[in-house]
Chain A
Amino acid sequence: MVDELELLKKDWQKQEATLPKLTKADIYPMLLKKSSSVVKWILIVSVIEFAFWILLTFGIKLDGEGASNVESAIGSTVEIISTVIHLTALLFFVGWFYKNYKKIESTDSPKDLMYNILKTRKTVKYYIWFNIAFLVVGSIAAFTIVEINSPDTIVVDNLLIAALAFIAIVGIFIGLLLLFYRLIYGILLRRLKTNYDELKKMDY
């Protein structure tokens, strides 16, 4: 085996003459082209997700007639508190995404890079879970407050059906979102994960 590898090494070092020779004129345009790397796509997807959540947050507030009724019933204090919490969290995640992106951009060791990629993935995961938790807890809180403060807003006869419908809609929505998340990130991260595992094996 050693002899064969040595043979290969000799042959490998002879190949220089057959390698392509690019000139500066060939290289300059390459600097302007866009990267097609996996990490770039992970970031694009994260940003799209981020935009989706922002749109959804404001979409519910602006278009949802039911939601605005609920909000008016809850009162401005609760609304302000929840908005402040949500926006603070969003800002926190934007900062986190940016930090991860910067780290990935300037890493030159495969191991650190993969560690950072996994960290980015985790950040996105936390972000999704936070949003889902916020949605669920917020909705339950809103229902409870509405029921306590102004029981007339929702007619008691319909409460069970309304609650079931609400749970079903939220459940379907969360399910679809998780499916989308698993599909997109699954495709992007499968190969990275394999290589990450290989590197991990190498280290221990």
Chain B
Amino acid sequence: MDKNQEEQFVALLEENQNIVHKICRLYTNNQDQHNDLFQEITIQLWRAFPKFRGDAKFSTWMYRVGLNTAITLYRKSKRRVQTQDFEGVSYRISSEDYDDTVEEQLKLMYSAVKELNDIEKALVFLYLEDKNYREISETLGITEVNARVKMNRVKGKLKKILNP
């Protein structure tokens, strides 16, 4: 890959880095893991860059490769699971002691999302990013109907996590 391509890629990534950071935030629980995943996504994006033909927006393509990496390629440490469990429990207990302020509600929602599996997280992520079902289905490589059905199931699952 030539120098021009490298410059072009780095400029595009710098401009759109928020997407990758947000994926990292959803799939990791501390700064070290965040940096690791960011690194891994960058490598995968760079590898796949020659295949990016510009027929999709760069940001759309980043969603695909980024989520792809988080779901399938990224090696996670065991620490992650422990942290996740602890957070989930602690939020749940505290919610019984305090009034449901917006902040508390948000905390609960975030911890509930963290309890979802990798695929469900990807769906919620795209939903939070305000993507419509057509975009969600294209990014994840599933049909629009399935994206809808699955999203409804995820909503049900979140409800169960929040009201066990």
Contact = CB atoms under 8 A, between A and B. Distances in A.
Contact of A9 (B10, B17, B72, B128): B128
A68 B17 CA distance: 62
Interface in A1-31: 1-2, 4-5, 7-9, 11-13, 15-16, 19-24, 27-28, 30-31
Interface in A102-122: 105-114, 117
Interface in B33-48: 36, 38-40, 42-44, 46-48
Interface string B9-51: 1110110011001100100000000001011101110111011
Contacts of A39: 72-73
A30 B106 contact: no
A198 interface: yes
Nearest to A117: B72
Contacts of A27: 10, 13-14, 17, 42
Nearest to B119: A198
A110 B75 contact: no
A91 interface: no
**Secondary structure call for the A interface:** helix
Contacts of B47: 35, 105-106
B100 to A, nearest CB: 10
Contacts of B113: 8
**Secondary structure call for the B interface:** helix
Contacts of A117: 72
Contacts of B48: 105-108
A80 to B, nearest CB: 42
Contacts of A154: none
15 contacts: A1-B159, A5-B158, A7-B105, A19-B21, A24-B11, A27-B13, A38-B75, A108-B61, A110-B67, A110-B71, A113-B68, A198-B118, A199-B142, A202-B146, A203-B143
Interface of A: 1-2, 4-5, 7-9, 11-13, 15-16, 19-24, 27-28, 30-31, 33-39, 41, 105-114, 117, 191-192, 194-195, 198-199, 202-203
The 8 closest A-B CB pairs, nearest first, are A109-B141, A37-B73, A111-B141, A12-B128, A198-B119, A19-B21, A30-B42, A8-B109
